[in-house]
Structure 1
């Protein structure tokens, strides 16, 4: 079974680590799926390695013990009932026992000639052999303690948990745990004293203060452990595993026995004396406590209730190619970063992590002292490559170079005490690649986003979103009395975004390129010439060198009071400065929270012509969103905007899968229809209309939102964005006159003018009365019919890893376009929602093998197959009107088909695009024969139109081009192009 299949065994809500383990074990036992066992090794390898390293030092011994530990798990899983305890603790205990046995075996082989010395009276300076013997005794007595005493000592020891954390893991109170710690210590000291070992009074403090450092096993070590499923264990490893747990009793229910080695063994408890050990008999171990009655469920969760896992392997190198034992973490889009441990000494790592947290992805990050970071996108639905179930990366850490700058006010006076936060980092692999990216940014018309490299790491803005300070970027500095600051940890040739906040000053954001000698003047000039002057983001972003001089302007205070319909203050409400007039967005998104008296004060805003503030709806209280606007006041006098909220109509209900009846994780959106007679009776809120959306509650499918009475359309679709897996929305038949039929699906007119397309997979028109307080609407999403199409090459062999278009209905695509989908682990393409009597044009391709193919899929086709073969070729050269080559233009082929019942407009992404070379030349080798296509030329969002040519020239490119069959070449020669004029703005410069 593929690794991808394992992503279906993790439950949706919370970590549920024990359930993940139980399901992995069930998967392995039920199907002998070796990939499931490998995931278990990756998940618990760091903890096992930690336990082994507390006892063993020889690398060969550690390798054998690591493999033997998972051999015990293999035998335990295949010969007995499921564990009724957390696997992580059980494995830690097994690892400790294996390590002690391995150490004892080595001693028996190597120290027979020193037996007399081991039994000698110790001196003040202990010989190494006596120390080893003492620690072995400590291990034995520690394992003999009852669980209620041993577990608190061990969790607060090697794992370095606080008492509160340990109490939480053990399901007890901190007070009870403190008592168990004290009694456990006394009992352990008594047992050790009987064997001639006396501990100093400070040993427990050493235990509590122990380190939490975790080492990630190398890929080689994980491979060794995974081989036990194939019987590939050395004789020594098998001997180590034998007897660690009584095999003939493996069918008995297993109890929780976390036998973690005390960190003090590695540090030294501070032994005062060690008595002679001659003829000492081991003290029998305490009987194991009774097993728990409950057992973990092993039934796989429903598909919509699963959380996917991802396997990430690779290595970390420095700028010269040397391995780096870097710290690894996940920086999520929301919340604090999640540490993942460290790469090995050889820079390698192997991890299994969740794709998302709270529905959001993030970035996988490697960092180390003296280096900048490197990072990769992870779990981002908008980035297909970040959603692959298994990935191998080589991360290269650039050399560190600090960002040093100075902050002044508009009069040139130093600003002391200002906060400077590096809230994003962006990187390319080479300086040349970064230069190309910056040139593209400068030439781009829309500058609402900062310049960026090939990959970007964003830290959540905790100050802006009321988040925890732990979520803020750790790369933060405060200006000194001279206004100077220094941010360390940035890498050479990386873009670093800075946000500056100072008391009494407007917030400022900028981007620096961390490269010595970088002069941004020319690029900034190009950006100013290319950006739209009436855009609210104009001038928002500007490039700076690595030593920026930053000028802050005074802030414009916005304040007021938020009340409910009765005039009572609303407390804890987020108020956003959202627009600089009644239309343009505020690029700085300043915000504040109301206090006990309902008052708010937004600080850090810049001076604008006008100020709109707004608050979101409150479905629990049945309150609509609200907004207010005020013109600018003279100079920097404060602006006052009070907001009084109004009651709306609450809509509540559930969203379920019509076929199964089970709740769905869904999003619901409302739009106010044209001619709604009630809108004007309410305080202004229309700019907040996008807030008329909500997500269902996890697990229950329940939702609650608030809207206005009168005609309103309610739409629903799955949260995962896979609306195409359900039937497309159908206009409400009771209000058929409000919908228009369009090629891309039904549309409707909205309040305030304009039209919108139906969204999601379901809709209903509501027409509530002003007296209606609450409506109940239960939503059923009906799964779409699907057709499975096999993909083969010209030899009839299956082809996996294809991309395809035409698999969705037009209602689930942008108008006139078909989405591009990836099928990385299968040779089967799923086609959804094909209507009876309507043929579907399916197009597929394989990027690596440069294969393309198409199939006109007819309803009722049995076992359809699409065959991929080599494409045709098109060549040409892009030049300007004077015949000079145009380098760096993206050339894209869009295939068009609309004949009879078959309809499609699509392209194949990488297969049908290329960038012109230095001489303007281009060549695309994967053109689909037999279909007319349009050739488009652009640079970012600047399109180029051909200088008029007979019959095949359009505003957007060359149209009506065709290649007859596979292997043919179409030579276009020189194609004269000019920048396309933008309507209403004149020619582009």
Structure 2
């Protein structure tokens, strides 16, 4: 059995703002038969939660398109024994393939939710409310005046099934972006659930937000008249001090990766917020020389944080107004025209002058070119579900027009998904470019990804004459219209097209190459099978590293033009091995694992002081080598030097080149050159470096 090393979020409900909760398959509930849900609600001590209220998603219009088209409506109240019987009413979100959220709330406790599909609806539903710890705060402006009526909303709640945030906080210090993986229960709320999860500041600017639940993480948004909308990543633990966690996370982040507000710093359950004065952006969205207005266009801007989005829609005259934007940073507006129109989306970078409070901007959108086609398996002819996008090439004259910047810059919104049979319809910019397909793998959040059995694309001989390819080690790329590299990795089909503006569109099919497969048999030095090993290079595109339960593994999408370096690591037994495969090898290829190597020593900084408590980092230039080590060690505590600068690194891959680096606070140090093309560590080698003086790298 093959499993990819991803966090399991089974049983959780991660709702997308306009995908999961707003999709309304089938007829409205109650149109033919009444759906009845039954179950019980308990308090944290297991006693019945008498009077708990049950909420269900309701559609205000038959086909909801924006969040204001839906609400959570109370549909039942638990009796004295905590039991409830809930009947879906006309207009309520129907049951279907996509689970729907059922919420329970009782004042004094946190909200609780579960995902309900047809199977869950037929069973008794059990909800256990958590203890609550109200989030309190104070909102003032930059002159110290209270912001009366400031809106405070918890939009996203995350929790761990184990009931506490210990693992989350430990992970946050080293890798904040990966810490969320420890929280296996998540939900993005579109609206308040009854009286919970939303409140307003009083005349003193103070507020109390109920319903999040203790030992949970909530994204709390504060907005209001005249102030910038802000997001707070609240750890709802009593007396929690976020300072040491934020300091550690900042120190462990590469200097070039540091951006203001990213990731959102942790906040404690008491928020003292000084709100900046807002920037108001007004304008119109239009098209053509006669400035024809575009109605119902979505205009949005993403502020600091994960879900800090401010959005509105244009009126019949194409006018819009966005409030709550930050003046101290140049906002970016995204304009999305209603589906079905032939107008392209647009991204606009705003230039805000010092002290400016109101900005007027007119945004022109252009008609695009429709490309239709099918993505299919070259060997079977069957369609394959994929993402399709267009990349303009150098020399595309339309790339100079600001109206097409969304398609030229690295922020490419010219993308669409095929249906299950591979058919697609893409609206994009005109001119020469590359139409590309990326096969959609299984969602790792929904229970583990699988290898994508297709090769990275290769240009036809004719297209290859038009598109110069840059090869840098294992990376292949070509230049786009903005001179940025478009990498081959993760892209599975491509064809050069010339799209004519104002024409009838174009048709283009994209063929996927499954390549060849090979089977490896994993064994130790005695020839005995080895199980539970990590294998890197299983596929030609991510995900490429999997943990294999058996002693054999299939390697996909191989080809003789690019031999694949496959690396196997069994960390518990300290064994590793590798093989280079093309798919032409007969029978199972034996990969014999040998003992891993070990490095030890004592690190000093350039001044001769021991590098105490420094992260020890090993960088392998070959993708399959650093990939297998990174995944195998992801759940382990990071390797650090001791108080005297001593360290010992286990499971060093024999036969692989690597570089040794150290990180102390925000400073990086490089070690001596240990390996080269002619020198790698031998199986089982135990290399003692002794005292080593490092060089500063930043």
TM-score by length of 2: 0.71
Contact 1:375 1:456 in 2 (8 A): no
In the alignment, the residues of structure 1 paired with residue 407 and residue 664 of structure 2 have an alpha-carbon distance, to the nearest angstrom, of 33
Query: Cα deviation per residue 1:458-502 (whole Å; 9 max; x = unaligned)?
Result: 54364xxxxxx3799963333233322223455666554321121
Give SS of 1:734's match.
helix
Query: Cα deviation per residue 1:408-452 (whole Å; 9 max; x = unaligned)?
Result: 2333333333222234456798888666556547xx9xxxx7997
Residue of structure 2 aligned with 1:669, choices 373, 386, 389: 389
In the alignment, the residues of structure 1 paired with residue 43 and residue 593 of structure 2 have an alpha-carbon distance, to the nearest angstrom, of 39
Q: Quote the offset at 1:534 in angstroms.
A: 12
Contact 2:536 2:546 in 1 (8 A): no
Query: Cα deviation per residue 1:929-964 (whole Å; 9 max; x = unaligned)?
Result: 344443343479864323xx5x549xxxx9987432
Give SS of 2:326's match.
coil
Structure of greater Rg: 1
The answer to whether the aligner puts 1:558 opposite 2:248 as a matched pair is no
In the alignment, the residues of structure 1 paired with residue 315 and residue 631 of structure 2 have an alpha-carbon distance, to the nearest angstrom, of 53
Q: If each structure's strand is expressed as a fraction of its own residues, which one has the higher value?
A: 2
Residue of structure 2 aligned with 1:801, choices 532, 551, 558: 532
Q: Quote the offset at 1:709 in angstroms.
A: 2.6
Aligned residue number for residue 507 of structure 1 = 229
Contact 2:280 2:323 in 1 (8 A): yes
Residue of structure 2 aligned with 1:678, choices 374, 377, 398: 398
Residue of structure 1 aligned with 2:468, choices 739, 742, 745: 739
Alignment of 1:608-757 (within 5 A): 608=328, 610-616=330-336, 620-628=340-348, 630-632=350-352, 635=355, 637-680=357-400, 683=403, 685-686=405-406, 690-720=411-441, 724-735=452-463, 736-742=465-471, 743-744=473-474, 746-757=476-487
In the alignment, the residues of structure 2 paired with residue 939 and residue 336 of structure 1 have an alpha-carbon distance, to the nearest angstrom, of 49
Alignment of 1:227-246 (within 5 A): none
Query: Cα deviation per residue 1:643-693 (whole Å; 9 max; x = unaligned)?
Result: 222222211122222333332211011111111123335735347754443
The answer to whether the aligner puts 1:401 opposite 2:401 as a matched pair is no
Q: Quote the offset at 1:616 in angstroms.
A: 3.4
Alignment of 1:477-496 (within 5 A): 477-490=199-212, 495-496=217-218
Q: Quote the offset at 1:844 in angstroms.
A: 0.9
The answer to whether the aligner puts 1:865 opposite 2:590 as a matched pair is yes
Give SS of 2:491's match.
coil
Contact 1:893 1:907 in 2 (8 A): no
Contact 1:801 1:822 in 2 (8 A): no
In the alignment, the residues of structure 2 paired with residue 411 and residue 962 of structure 1 have an alpha-carbon distance, to the nearest angstrom, of 63
Distance 1:929 1:504, change over 3 A: closer
Give SS of 1:548's match.
strand
- Worse-matched range after superposition: 414-423 or 780-789: 414-423
In the alignment, the residues of structure 2 paired with residue 496 and residue 609 of structure 1 have an alpha-carbon distance, to the nearest angstrom, of 25
Aligned residue number for residue 689 of structure 2 = 972
Question: What stretches of structure 2 of length at least 5 have no aligned partner?
Answer: 5-26, 58-66, 82-94, 115-127, 443-449
In the alignment, the residues of structure 1 paired with residue 650 and residue 222 of structure 2 have an alpha-carbon distance, to the nearest angstrom, of 49
Give SS of 2:558's match.
coil
Question: What stretches of structure 1 of length at least 5 have no aligned partner?
Answer: 5-162, 171-207, 216-315, 346-356, 377-395, 463-468, 814-818, 898-902, 982-989
- Worse-matched range after superposition: 521-530 or 819-828: 521-530
The answer to whether the aligner puts 1:592 opposite 2:312 as a matched pair is yes
Contact 2:618 2:658 in 1 (8 A): no
In the alignment, the residues of structure 2 paired with residue 723 and residue 452 of structure 1 have an alpha-carbon distance, to the nearest angstrom, of 24
In the alignment, the residues of structure 2 paired with residue 546 and residue 440 of structure 1 have an alpha-carbon distance, to the nearest angstrom, of 22
Give SS of 1:679's match.
helix
Contact 2:174 2:248 in 1 (8 A): no
Alignment of 1:826-845 (within 5 A): 826-836=550-560, 839-845=563-569
Q: Quote the offset at 1:560 in angstroms.
A: 1.2
In the alignment, the residues of structure 1 paired with residue 98 and residue 664 of structure 2 have an alpha-carbon distance, to the nearest angstrom, of 31
Q: Quote the offset at 1:888 in angstroms.
A: 5.2
- Worse-matched range after superposition: 408-417 or 712-721: 408-417
Q: Quote the offset at 1:601 in angstroms.
A: 1.1
Q: Quote the offset at 1:729 in angstroms.
A: 0.9
The answer to whether the aligner puts 1:945 opposite 2:670 as a matched pair is yes
In the alignment, the residues of structure 2 paired with residue 716 and residue 782 of structure 1 have an alpha-carbon distance, to the nearest angstrom, of 12
Aligned residue number for residue 269 of structure 2 = 546
Contact 2:221 2:308 in 1 (8 A): no
In the alignment, the residues of structure 1 paired with residue 365 and residue 392 of structure 2 have an alpha-carbon distance, to the nearest angstrom, of 18
For the aligned residues, what is the CA RMSD? 5.2
Q: Quote the offset at 1:329 in angstroms.
A: 13
Give SS of 1:559's match.
strand
The answer to whether the aligner puts 1:928 opposite 2:658 as a matched pair is no
Q: If each structure's helix is expressed as a fraction of its own residues, which one has the higher value?
A: 1
Residue of structure 2 aligned with 1:764, choices 492, 495, 498: 495
Aligned residue number for residue 681 of structure 2 = 963
In the alignment, the residues of structure 1 paired with residue 646 and residue 195 of structure 2 have an alpha-carbon distance, to the nearest angstrom, of 44
Aligned residue number for residue 212 of structure 1 = 38
In the alignment, the residues of structure 2 paired with residue 579 and residue 707 of structure 1 have an alpha-carbon distance, to the nearest angstrom, of 27
Distance 1:822 1:750, change over 3 A: same
In the alignment, the residues of structure 1 paired with residue 97 and residue 31 of structure 2 have an alpha-carbon distance, to the nearest angstrom, of 29
Alignment of 1:831-910 (within 5 A): 831-836=555-560, 839-857=563-581, 859-881=584-606, 882-887=608-613, 889-892=615-618, 894=620, 907-909=628-630
Query: Cα deviation per residue 1:735-764 (whole Å; 9 max; x = unaligned)?
Result: 314222414354222113233223511111
Distance 1:211 1:839, change over 3 A: closer
Q: Which has the higher contact order (CA 8 A, sep 6+)?
A: 2
Distance 1:697 1:740, change over 3 A: closer
Residue of structure 1 aligned with 2:154, choices 409, 417, 422: 422
Distance 1:803 1:940, change over 3 A: farther
Distance 1:780 1:483, change over 3 A: same
Distance 1:557 1:586, change over 3 A: farther
In the alignment, the residues of structure 2 paired with residue 905 and residue 473 of structure 1 have an alpha-carbon distance, to the nearest angstrom, of 50
Q: Quote the offset at 1:558 in angstroms.
A: 0.8
